[in-house]
């Protein structure tokens, strides 16, 4: 397993603005989550069952995840409920969750912003997040597990990066060593891991707390969508 820590930015022509803005918003929302707790986190997360039933679900939920019993509470959500598609896109479940997503966005997002321009990049990012949420919803329309995080939208950025810069060199950390690999290897391995996670959970008939379907949906949306969004 390797961890991306940087890429070759020599072809970038502009200074990113939207990428650091999105990172700042995610950090700000995370601070709000720490202050307000589950009422904010579970209230503004995306819950597929709420969309399916067409009503806000409030109360204690008990289920088994990976053979382990868990319980959590759902809180009042914003109305209309579809707003949670966007609010969930800027929330996270832990410090590692937040930091991991922001590192990927910082490494791979700047060159996509450079190629698309600031407004197009923002629309592209949000569109990938919506597509990722749709994929997550279709994977289990009755799920009561709150879905949150920027990873679906960021997966779209990864898909776009693979199409635009497949041979770009990415610096990764492998054990204690720093090596450079082409983007198609780094992102190809990432995509493969999501496939294994999604279909592995399905074959085991287990509920997963990782939204693999959202990652896959966002990645594919980014890969195909970049053809429509990029400049000539």
The fold of 2-229 is Rhomboid-like fold (1.20.1540)
Q: What is the mean pLDDT of residues 188-200?
A: 87
Q: What is the mean pLDDT of residues 2-25?
A: 93
pLDDT one-digit tens code per residue, 89-136: 999 999 999 999 999 999 999 999 999 999 999 999 999 999 999 999
As a whole-number percent, the residues of the chain with pLDDT over 90 amount to: 78
Q: What is the dihedral of CA 44, 225, 16, 106, to 10 degrees?
A: 60
Burial classification of residue 122, based on how many CB atoms lie within 10 Å of its CB (0-12 exposed, 13-18 middle, 19 or more buried): middle
CA-closest candidate to residue 148, choices 139, 136, 162:
136
Which two three-digit tokens encode residue 216? 């896959």
In this model, does residue 205 exceed pLDDT 50? Answer: no
The β-bridge relationship of strands 169-174 and 59-65 is: unpaired
Give backbone dihedrals phi and psi of 134, rounded to 5 degrees, phi first. -60, -40
pLDDT band at residue 203 using 50, 70 and 90 as cut-offs: very low
Q: Out of 26-35, 134-143, 175-184, 201-210, which region has the weakest mean confidence (pLDDT)?
A: 201-210
State how far the Cα of 84 lies from the Cα of 43, in Å rounded to an integer. Answer: 9
pLDDT value for 154? 98
Helix (H) or strand (E) holding 54: none
Pure H helices in 45-182: 48-53, 84-87, 95-116, 118-139, 151-164
- Provide the residue ranges of all domains of the chain, joining segments of one domain with +: 2-229
In this model, does residue 2 exceed pLDDT 80? Answer: no
Please name the residue that has the structure tokens 């803005």.
21
Q: What is the mean pLDDT of residues 185-196?
A: 92
In this model, does residue 146 exceed pLDDT 50? Answer: yes
Which two three-digit tokens encode residue 156? 């779209």
pLDDT one-digit tens code per residue, 206-232: 556 788 999 999 999 999 999 887 754
In this model, does residue 162 exceed pLDDT 70? Answer: yes
Of the CA atoms within 13 Å of residue 35, those in its CB half-sphere come to 6
pLDDT one-digit tens code per residue, 40-93: 999 999 999 999 999 999 988 887 776 778 888 899 999 999 999 999 999 999
């Amino acid at each position: 397993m390797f961890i991306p820590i940087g890429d070759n930015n020599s072809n970038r022509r502009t200074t990113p603005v939207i990428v650091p803005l999105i990172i700042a918003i995610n950090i700000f929302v995370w601070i709000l989550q720490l202050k307000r707790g589950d009422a904010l986190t579970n209230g503004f997360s995306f819950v597929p069952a709420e969309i399916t039933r067409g009503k806000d679900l409030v109360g204690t939920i008990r289920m088994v995840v990976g053979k382990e019993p868990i319980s959590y509470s759902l809180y009042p959500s914003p109305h209309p409920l579809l707003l949670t598609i966007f609010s969930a896109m800027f929330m996270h479940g832990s410090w590692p969750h937040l930091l991991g997503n922001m590192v990927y966005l910082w490494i791979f997002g700047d060159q996509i912003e450079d190629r698309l321009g600031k407004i197009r990049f923002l629309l592209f990012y949000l569109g990938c997040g919506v597509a990722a949420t749709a994929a997550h919803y279709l994977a289990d329309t009755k799920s009561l597990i709150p879905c949150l995080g920027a990873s679906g939208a960021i997966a779209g950025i990864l898909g776009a990066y693979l199409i635009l810069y497949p041979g770009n060199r990415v610096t990764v950390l492998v054990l204690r060593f720093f090596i450079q690999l082409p983007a198609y290897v780094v992102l190809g391995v990432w995509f493969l891991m999501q496939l294994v996670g999604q279909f592995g959970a399905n074959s085991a008939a287990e509920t997963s707390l990782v939204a693999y379907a959202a990652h896959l949906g966002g990645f594919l949306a980014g890969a195909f969508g970049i053809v429509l969004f990029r400049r000539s």
